[in-house]
Amino acid sequence: MITANAVRVSHPTKVLTGHVTLPASKSEANRALIIRALSGQDFPIHNLSDANDTQLLNQLLSTPAGPEVSAEDAGTVMRFLTAYYAITNQQLTLTGTARMCQRPIGVLVDALRTLGAKIDYLGQEGYPPLQLKGFDYAGSNQLTVRADVSSQYISALLMIAPLLPQGLELTLAGKIGSEPYIRMTLAQMAHFGVQSVFEGNKITVPALKYEAKEYTVESDWSGASYWYSMVALAQEADIFLPALRADSLQGDSVLPDLMAPFGVKTTFKDGGVHLTKIPVQEALDRIDFSACPDLAQTVAALAAGLQVEVEMTGLESLRIKETDRILAIQTELPKLGATLQETELGVFRVFSGNQAKNDVRIHTYDDHRMAMAFAPLALKQEIIIEEPSVVKKSYPRYWETLNAAGFQTLPVQ
Ligand SMILES: O=C(O)C1=C[C@@H](OP(=O)(O)O)[C@@H](O)[C@H](O)C1
Ligand SMILES: C=C(OP(=O)(O)O)C(=O)O
C-alpha cells in the first residue's frame, strides 16, 4: 500500500503482458454479507473482497453494533446497513465521512418509514447521519420508490423484503438507473432461496427465510476496466484477467463490447479473459452509462489518452458518488489537453486535444476511481496521481499489480 501524498507513474517499455489478479467484486460481496446476516445462519462466502468497503461491512456485521456506527465512504455499507439495522430493530446512530453526509438517503429513509422504521435525521433532512430508533411493522406490503437516484436504496429494500410478514411489492418510479445492480441483488437472493418476480417496473418478493448456502464472489469487472484501458493505451499488450465470467451478475461485464471500439479484443478462455489489441474504431458511438456508471471515468480518461472524441450519456448519478465525478473529470481532463463538455442537456462529450502536457498532476477527490482511471495514462506520458491510497476502497492492491505489470510508481510530495 502506497501511503505517499502522491505517486509519479510511468511505464518504461509500454509493453504489457502477464496475469493480473483482480480484487473480488465489492458489490457481490456486500450483498452476500447482508444476506448471510439476515439469514441468521453461518455459511462460507468464498473470495471475499479485500476492498475496504467489504472488510468494513464484514467487521460491522460480525461485532455487536453501536452506539455509533460509521459506514465511512462506502455507499453500499451506508444504504444496506440502514435497511438491515431497521429491520433487525437495532437502535443506534449511523454515520459516515463528511462526503457520505452529503450523499442523499431520503428515498430509502422514506420507504423504510412507510414500512414501520423509526428513523430521525441528526443533521440535514434527507442525509446521514441517521438515528435509528427501532421497527414497528406498519402492515403494508406495497411501496413505491424513485429509481432514478440510486439503485442501492432498492437493493437495500429488496434484501430485507423476505423478512417482512407479507413480503413486498415494490414499484419503481421514474427512469431506472443502475438496473444491473438491482438484478444482481435479485439473483443473489434467488441463490439463497428467495425467488422474486421483476416485471415492468414492479418487483414482487415473497416472505421467506433465506437458505444457508455457500457463495463464491466473482472478480470485479469494474476493477477490470482499468486493465482494458491500459491495454488500449499500451504499444503492445497481452493480458490475462482470471476469474471473470461471460455470464456475470455484474453490469460492468459489458466491457468486452464497450471496449472493442477503443481497441481491446476480449477472448473468454481459461476461466477468465485474455485482452489483446485491435485497431481503434474511427467513429465511436454514443455510450449510455446509466447501467454502468462506474465505467464513466475509465472511458473519459481513456478517450483523452487515445485522443478520440466520445459522447457520454446517463451520467446523472455521478454527481452524488464519492465526489461529484462530472465536475472532477471536467477539472482534471484539461490537464491532459482534453475537456468534458455538456453539449446538450444530459449529453456530454470528451473533446481531446492533440498535445501532451508536461507535469500532469491529477487530483483524486477522495475517489478511488479518479486515481485508477487516470493512472493508465502513464502509458502515454508520465503522470502524477495524488492520494494514491484512495484505491483501498475497492482495489487495495492496485499499485502492486501495476508494478508487477512493469509500471514504475515513485512516491513524491
Ligand atoms: O449496488 C451496488 O453495489 C452499486 C451500485 C451503483 O450505485 P448507484 O446505484 O448509486 O448508481 C454503483 O455505482 C456502486 O459502485 C455499487
Ligand atoms: C459509487 C461507488 O461506490 P459506493 O456508491 O458504494 O460508495 C463506486 O465504487 O464507484
Are both 197 and 233 inside the same structural domain?
no
Are both 264 and 407 inside the same structural domain?
yes
CA dihedral (348, 154, 186, 37) in degrees, to 10, reads 130
Are both 181 and 224 inside the same structural domain?
no
Residue among 307, 308, 326, 329 nearest 317 (CA): 326
353 or 270, higher pLDDT: 270
Are both 168 and 299 inside the same structural domain?
no
Q: How many residues does the chain have?
A: 413
Boundary of a domain, candidates 175, 204, 233: 204
Nearest CA to ligand 1 atom 2: 27
Decide the pairing of beta strands 68-70 and 91-95.
Answer: parallel
Residues lining ligand 1, CB < 6 A?
27, 75-76, 150-152, 155, 177-178, 181, 293-294, 317
Are both 65 and 16 inside the same structural domain?
no
Q: Which of 25, 76, 367 has the most ligand 2 atoms within 8 A of CB, as the residue to mutate? A: 76
Confidence (pTM)? 0.98
**Mean predicted confidence (pLDDT) in 105-132:** 98
Are both 298 and 332 inside the same structural domain?
yes
Q: Is 148 a catalytic residue?
A: no
Q: How far is the CA of 243 from the centre of ligand 2 (A)?
A: 22
* Residue 263: all three cell numbers together: 481497441
Are both 85 and 154 inside the same structural domain?
yes
Q: What is the pLDDT of residues 297-346, one digit of tens each?
A: 999 999 999 999 999 999 999 999 999 999 999 999 999 999 999 999 99
Phi first, then psi, for residue 145 (nearest 5°) are -130, 150
Domain-located, residue 209: no
Q: How far is the CA of 5 from the centre of ligand 1 (A)?
A: 28
Residue 413 is predicted with a pLDDT of 86
Marked catalytic residue, from 294, 324, 359, 367: 294
Ligand nearest to the CA of 325: 2
Q: What is the pLDDT of residues 8-27, one digit of tens each?
A: 999 999 999 999 999 999 99
Residue 397 is predicted with a pLDDT of 98
| Chain mean pLDDT for the chain | 97
Are both 263 and 371 inside the same structural domain?
yes
What is the interface pTM, i.e. ipTM, of the complex? 0.99
Residue 1 is predicted with a pLDDT of 67
Are both 342 and 298 inside the same structural domain?
yes
Q: What is the pLDDT of residues 371-393, one digit of tens each?
A: 999 999 999 999 999 999 999 99
pLDDT over threshold 90, residue 2: no
Are both 82 and 120 inside the same structural domain?
yes
Ligand 1 atom closest to the CA of 31, numbered from 1:
3
Residue among 70, 177, 155, 68 nearest 111 (CA): 155
DSSP designation for 18 = E
Domain-located, residue 17: yes
Residue among 187, 186, 194 nearest 212 (CA): 194
Give the residue numbers spanning the domain of 77: 26-204
Q: Is 26 annotated as a binding residue?
A: yes
pLDDT over threshold 80, residue 180: yes
Is residue 130 within 8 Å of 120, Cβ to Cβ?
yes
Are both 372 and 272 inside the same structural domain?
yes
Is residue 275 within 8 Å of 232, Cβ to Cβ?
no
pLDDT over threshold 90, residue 111: yes
* Residue 181: all three cell numbers together: 445492480
Are both 79 and 59 inside the same structural domain?
yes
Ligand nearest to the CA of 298: 2
Domain-located, residue 70: yes
Q: How far is the CA of 337 from the centre of ligand 1 (A)?
A: 30
How far is residue 207's CA from residue 194's CA, in Å, rounded to a whole number? 8
294 CB under 6 A from ligand 2?
yes
